[in-house]
Amino acid sequence: MRLLATWMLVFYLFCAHSSAAQVIVNDSAIDFPLPAQELRLIFSMQKIYWPDGHKVKVFILDPSSDLHKEFCFQKLDIMPYMLQRRWDRLVFSGTGERPVILKSEAEMRELISRTPGAIGYVSDSVSVAGGQYVYNR
């Protein structure tokens, strides 16, 4: 019984992982692999330039969407509302901006392949178009 539970857990974890979000970047930014810590800074809007001088353009999906939440937990290891609080502080003090919120993964793919310095995410099940790269850490 315990063995079964363990295997179910392993199976569940495997499934959960396979449906995770994948980080994608514009091909102008491929030289800079990022540890999770850097990703958190980028999606918190606290790291605003790539080392080559391109401005980082951060795209996200609706913060209440499942994919955004999965992305926060699995790739950033941060609770979605903690991340939102960091943007709110910038937005409502006037000192900064939040990420650009997009309506769909199709829009995300298109904009990231077109925008130099862009970073965002799509679900694992989506195949990614040219001009952009999947970033696996």
Say how many residues touch another protein, by CB under 8 A: 51
Q: Tokens 């491929």 sit at which residue?
A: 30
- Which residues, 62 to 81, sit near another protein by CB under 8 A? 63-64, 78-81
* Minimum CB–partner distance for residue 2 and another protein (Å): 26
Q: Beta strand pairing status for 100-102 and 57-61?
A: parallel
One-letter amino acid at 13 equals L
Quick check: 95 binds another protein (CB under 8 A)?
yes
Quick check: 14 binds another protein (CB under 8 A)?
no
Give how far Cα 122 sits from Cα of 21, 40, 65, 89, 109, Å: 5, 17, 12, 26, 8
Quick check: 109 binds another protein (CB under 8 A)?
yes
Q: CB-based burial of residue 53 (10 Å sphere; 0-12 exposed, 13-18 middle, 19+ buried)?
A: exposed
* Minimum CB–partner distance for residue 43 and another protein (Å): 12
Q: CA angle 126-132-133, nearest 5°?
A: 75
Binding interface with another protein (CB under 8 A): 30, 33, 37, 40-41, 46-51, 53, 55, 63-64, 78-82, 84-85, 88-89, 91-95, 97-98, 100-102, 104, 106-107, 109-111, 114-115, 127-131, 133-136
